[in-house]
Structure 1
Amino acid sequence: MSQIYGPMIQQGYIVPDLQAGMAHWLARGVGPWYVIPPFSLDALHYGKPTVCRITAAFACSGDQQIELITPLEGSGPSVYSDFLAANPEGGMQHLASWCDDVDAKLEQLAADGVDFVVAQRYPGSHAYLDVAGSPGVMIQLMPTIQRYMDLYNVGVSESAAWDGTTRPIRVMDWTHPVDVDAL
């Protein structure tokens, strides 16, 4: 557990090819995968407005969520495309921690003297922090909103019950609330 951010519940990987990324993890017995088809999000990238166009997939190994993100053509600047520019084969880009109030946490971190930059922020949602004096993976503050918690909880329970072969890849409609019964 991080004494600054709390328990890390997710490993986030940026990958150039989502299918290849899922195949990598499936070959290691991690699944099933929940794929979110391409979508766009308004964001602030180092304080400047941008639109991120991505696709993503989620699976769990125990209580650790694995997230794969692929930035897509037509996307504006993002922490995802920045990462792939520096690491063309992809890799771990962030660790995420649950956060009840992202704005309050950012204020607390600043008051505590944590040296960070908000690399990317989704208004009303999560934030990616780059710790200025300590290079490495970013920290994602993941808000405890119901759709994120539902996705996490479904992933944990489904991975525990998964037989390793049945429906290894499942597609979600992220434009609507997570229907946990339909997964």
Structure 2
Amino acid sequence: MSRTFGTIRQLGYVVPDIASAITHWVERLEVGPFFYIERQPVNDFTYRGEPSEPEFSVALAQAGPVQVELIQQRNDAPSAFREFTNAGGEGLQHIAYWTTTFGDLVDRAAALGYQELQRGRSGSGGPDERFAYFTAGGHAGTVVEISEVAGRKAALFEAVAVAAAGWDGSDPVRDMTTLVTR
């Protein structure tokens, strides 16, 4: 556990082919089911302080206490994901900490000298769906995401975890929108 941010709750992988990545995780690692959305809604997105409109697909699954997020960016809009792939990266791009005190953790990251890469609001764009990505330098896979998890986003993440706990290997790829419209 990080004394700074708490427990790592998610591993975020940026991949060139999300379908192949899902197949790998399901068939080779037996992690699933994955909840997939072709176009992840993102609101008020900024990258390095400038507005941007990235389009990306996302798949979420749970592996024990950690959520696995697979991300494939579908356009060339500036983002931390595009920066990662442009530098030749593929695979683990960030670790995420979940919080209900978003402002406090963002302030803590800034006070420690972390530099913000991107921020926005996911899902429905609600006031409790904020995220921010930070770097303190270092190597790939150490980008830190602080993700506000409350309301609909918390319900989504809980539903992913519940599905994984009782997963028997059937129906390995599911439509994420069935969880977010409940």
How does the TM-score come out when normalised to structure 2?
0.86
Give distance in 2, aligned partners of 1:13 and 1:146.
Answer: 24
Rate the CA distance shift 1:39–1:67 in 2: closer, same or farther, 3 A: closer
Quote the residue 1:17 is aligned against. Answer: 17
Structure 2: which 5+ residue stretches go unaligned?
Answer: 122-126
Quote the residue 1:29 is aligned against. Answer: 30
Q: Is the 8 A contact 1:147 1:178 kept in 2?
A: no
Quote the residue 1:78 is aligned against. Answer: 79
Give percent identity, aligned residues only.
28
2:106 is equivalent to residue 106 of structure 1: yes
Quote the residue 1:170 is aligned against. Answer: 174
Q: Is the 8 A contact 2:14 2:92 kept in 1?
A: yes
Quote the residue 2:53 is aligned against. Answer: 51
2:65 is equivalent to residue 63 of structure 1: yes
SS of the aligned residue for 1:38 comes to coil
Q: In the TM superposition, what whole-angstrom CA distance separates every residue of 1:30-49 from its partner, at most 9, and x where no partner exists? A: 00000012145241101111
Rate the CA distance shift 1:32–1:128 in 2: closer, same or farther, 3 A: same
Q: Is the 8 A contact 2:132 2:147 kept in 1?
A: yes
The alpha carbon displacement at 1:178 in A equals: 4.4
SS of the aligned residue for 1:51 comes to coil
2:122 is equivalent to residue 120 of structure 1: no
How does the TM-score come out when normalised to structure 1?
0.86
Structure 1: which 5+ residue stretches go unaligned?
Answer: none
